[in-house]
Amino acid sequence: MSYEFILGFARQALETMLLVSLPVLGLSMVVGLVISIFQSVTQIQEMTITFVPKIVVTFLALLLFGAWMLGKLTDFLREVITNIPNLAG
């Protein structure tokens, strides 16, 4: 097992993690930003207003992107399993 292989594997794992989490985190960040702007404009300072829309958007994002996310994770896991013989050598 070489140093380059370990770095490549770690890089691919981090890229897969970021790619899979990006849709859910990105959408909930955008919704949080919109709600924060709305609260600033209307001067409503209720903290619980942000939770329900973020949760709803998170679940909708998981419903919309769930199959794609599972496909990416499955592809990564398949590649890890096929590279197991390379780890022993």
User: In this predicted model, what pLDDT tens digit does every residue of 11-70 receive, in sequence order?
Assistant: 999 999 999 999 999 999 999 999 989 988 988 888 788 889 999 999 999 999 999 999
pLDDT confidence of 88, banded at 50, 70, 90? confident
Is residue 74 one of the residues assigned to a domain? yes
pTM of this structure: 0.78
* Pick from 19, 26, 25: nearest CA to 73: 19
Whether residue 1 lies inside any domain: the answer is no
Phi–psi pair at 83, nearest 5 degrees:
-90, 5
Task: Classify residue 36: in a domain, yes or no.
Answer: yes
Let me know: does 73 contact 20? Beta carbons within 8 Å: yes
Q: What is the residue range of 54's domain?
A: 11-83
pLDDT, average across residues 58-83: 94
In a domain? residue 6? no
Q: Is residue 62 situated within a structural domain?
A: yes
Looking at residue 89, its pLDDT comes to 61
Number of domains in the chain: 1
